[in-house]
């Protein structure tokens, strides 16, 4: 495999992005290389193409395999392990999201619950701390519920959801502004029709046409 200028640019940028996300630069570059490589590569080839040490490549490969975004493969008659990245972007997104939840969100949620428990054993001075920690815990619980729903979607359904994001954002933004009238009472539902009629974020709406919403997002059964 020969690295073209475009491939080099992508690999270098992916390494920089990896550092921004708290991931080792070489690890991110190895992933980028395997993602664009048309065939599996062995550690020696990866080392030569990226001009990094074999030990660094081996460490990065072990970590990428642990994340689930790279897998080990073999060729008939070949004695060396070869490696390839998941090529499906949606599946890569799903794997990374699950691993970050396991490594970051779940431990943080457990820590918050422990801190809240300890704070409640303290005196009145802990009241404000408890309030703030409970807000953070509630937010993480909401994210966990959201992730649970997303994880149940097939890759095709997840793609349709992401493609419909702008429409849904406009819809729920307007829905939030039309929840109550000036007296604080909920407004009576009004016919809306198709979702195409809610493109203007300043036009209030007070009801949801579920059939039209399903057409935009697509149901899990349709996409499975």
Looking up residue 61, the CATH number of its domain turns out to be: 1.10.10.10
**Which pLDDT score is estimated for 181?**
46
Rg (CA), the chain: 24
Return the SS3 of 206. coil
Asked if residue 70 and residue 27 are part of one domain, the reply reads yes
Asked if residue 81 and residue 10 are part of one domain, the reply reads yes
> Distance (Å, rounded) from C-alpha 175 to C-alpha 36?
42
Enumerate residue ranges in the chain where pLDDT < 50: 180-183, 185-210, 219-224
Q: How far is CA 216 from its chain centroid? A: 21
Q: Packing angle between helix 25-36 and helix 5-20, nearest 10 degrees?
A: 140
**Longest alpha-carbon distance in the chain:** 78
**Which pLDDT score is estimated for 200?**
43
Asked if residue 129 and residue 60 are part of one domain, the reply reads no
Within a 13 Å sphere around the CA of 6, how many CA atoms are in the beta-carbon half?
2
92 with 110: CB under 8 angstroms? no
- How many domains does the structure of the chain reveal? 3
Asked if residue 172 and residue 147 are part of one domain, the reply reads no
Asked if residue 104 and residue 59 are part of one domain, the reply reads no
**Which pLDDT score is estimated for 162?**
76
The neighbouring-strand residues paired with 85 are 70
**Which pLDDT score is estimated for 159?**
79
Asked if residue 76 and residue 32 are part of one domain, the reply reads yes
Residue 86: count other Cβ atoms within 10 Å of its Cβ: 19
Asked if residue 99 and residue 79 are part of one domain, the reply reads no
**Which pLDDT score is estimated for 166?**
65
The pair phi, psi for residue 123, each rounded to 5°, is -90, -170
* Final residue in a domain of this structure, among 85, 110, 130: 85
Q: Which domain holds residue 132?
A: 89-152
Asked if residue 135 and residue 165 are part of one domain, the reply reads no
> Distance (Å, rounded) from C-alpha 18 to C-alpha 14?
6
* Final residue in a domain of this structure, among 129, 152, 175: 152
């Amino acid at each position: 495999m020969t690295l073209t200028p475009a491939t080099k640019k992508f690999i270098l940028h992916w390494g920089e992005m990896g550092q921004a996300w708290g991931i080792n630069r070489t690890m991110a570059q190895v992933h980028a290389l395997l993602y664009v490589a048309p065939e599996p590569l062995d550690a020696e080839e990866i080392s030569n193409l990226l001009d990094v040490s074999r030990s660094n490549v081996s460490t990065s490969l072990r970590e990428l395999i642990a994340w689930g975004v790279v897998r080990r493969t073999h060729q008939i008659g070949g004695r060396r392990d070869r490696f390839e990245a998941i090529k499906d972007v949606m599946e890569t997104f799903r794997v990374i999201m699950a691993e970050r939840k396991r490594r970051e969100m779940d431990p943080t949620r457990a820590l918050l619950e422990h801190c809240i428990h300890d704070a409640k054993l303290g005196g009145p001075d802990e009241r404000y701390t408890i309030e703030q920690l409970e807000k953070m815990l509630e937010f993480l619980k909401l994210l966990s519920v959201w992730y649970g729903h997303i994880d149940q979607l097939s890759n095709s359904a997840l793609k349709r959801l992401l493609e419909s994001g702008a429409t849904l954002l406009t819809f729920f933004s307007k829905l939030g502004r039309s929840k109550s009238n000036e007296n604080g009472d909920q407004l009576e539902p009004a016919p809306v029709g198709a979702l195409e009629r809610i493109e203007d974020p300043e036009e209030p709406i007070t009801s949801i046409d579920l059939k039209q919403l399903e057409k935009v997002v697509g149901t899990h059964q349709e996409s499975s």
